[in-house]
Structure 1
Amino acid sequence: MNSDEYIFNIKDILNILPHRYPFLLIDRILDFKAFQYLKALKNCTVNEPFFQGHFIKEPVFPGVLMIEAMSQAAAVLIFKSIGKLNINQLYYFVGIENTRFKKIVVPGDQIFIEVIYLKSKKNFIKFKIFAIVNKKNVCKSTIIFYKKNIFN
């Protein structure tokens, strides 16, 4: 599948996630299978505000935002897998494990994010996530969410 093919575009993503510019870090969903996996795309452009100061002479996509983009992709997998959102539930990003940054990401790169659903136990959901640029792994992490019922 190339970057011109997708199953959810930015309008669909805006209906799934509460994030908005400049903190929405997913541009497209390329592939998806409920409770199994999701593939997303993040286009990195020099116009993004964080590149202005990170770093001035050599702009680099911040690692913390890489983790956020990966988490947003995992959140889309959760929300699309369960179907209808329950307004009485919140999903909190509560943990990262075994995170490694392998290469820097710069303006012009396309980050392909691959989310793999690992398991759910009680109210915790665990994912293995990879960020890939030019077919090379630039980041990998295990990310954990907690589902909280807020109006019981």
Structure 2
Amino acid sequence: MKLTTKELMEIIPHRQPFLLVDTIEELEPGVRAVGHKCVTYNEPFFAGHFPGEPVMPGVLQIEALAQTGAAAILSLPENKGKTAYFGGIRQAKFRQKVVPGDVLTLEVELIKVKGPVGIGRAVAKNQKQQVTAAAELTFMIG
């Protein structure tokens, strides 16, 4: 299943300027999601990170992954209209800089879900298939 930006916003509560996923290319509700983020020079965070050398902050890559994972868990009928909150971030690693012009592929696989709490394995890659960020994300449905 694929989702446009508009369809994604029907599932997750994030909006501009904090919606960090453009589309969902693959979706298996409650299992996994693969999204894309086209990083442009017009991103608001580039104004200060860093002037003259724009780099997407690693924490925003993690947030983009979390939003992708939220699409997977919140697309289940029993979670409709709910919000997925961060419960934890483990083993976060940042491998490559993300700069204007990069297209991130955001992959999240839900590896454990018990009640309103779950864990997702998350990896972001650039268009060269280089890992830019990876982490284990814990979420809580509220």
Give the structure with higher Rg (CA).
1
1:36: how far off?
A: 2.1
Aligned counterparts of 1:44 and 1:23: Cα–Cα separation in 2: 13
Match of 2:96 in 1: 103
* Cα RMSD (Å): 1.5
For residues 15-70 of structure 1, the C-alpha deviation after alignment (integer angstroms, 9 at most, x for no partner) is 11111110000000001122221100011000111111100010000111111101
2:131 equivalent to 1:137? yes
**Which residue pairs with 1:70 in the alignment?**
65
Distance in 2 of aligned mates of 1:110 and 1:86: 29
Q: Give the C-alpha shift of residue 122 in structure 1.
A: 4.2
Aligned 1:13-24 pairs, distance under 5 A: 13-24=8-19
- Gaps (5+ residues) in structure 2? none
1:86 Cα deviation (Å)? 4.8
Q: What secondary structure sits across from 2:10 in the alignment? A: helix
Aligned to 2:47: 52
User: Given the superposition, is the C-alpha separation of residues 56 and 39 from structure 1 closer, same or farther in structure 2, using an over 3 Å criterion?
Assistant: same
Give me the whole-angstrom Cα distance separating, in 1, the residues matched to 2:49 and 2:77.
38
**Separation (CA, whole Å) in 2 of partners of 1:117 and 1:95:** 14
Aligned partner letter, 1:141: A
Equivalents in 2 of 1:86, 1:8: separation in Å? 16
AA at the equivalent of 1:145:
F
Name 2:26's counterpart in structure 1.
31
Structure 1 residue 91, shift from structure 2 partner? 2.9
The 5 A counterparts of 1:77-92 are 77-80=72-75, 82-86=76-80, 90-92=83-85
- Equivalent residue of 1:74, what SS? helix
Count matched residues.
Answer: 141
C-alpha distance in 2 between matches for 1:75 and 1:123: 12
SS in 1 for 2:87: strand
Going from structure 1 to structure 2, the CA distance change for 1:122 and 1:83 (only over 3 Å counts) comes to closer
Return closer, same or farther for 1:86/1:110 CA change in 2, 3 Å cut-off.
closer
| Offset of residue 124 of structure 1 | 1.6
- Whole-angstrom distance in 2 between the partners of 1:13 and 1:123: 21
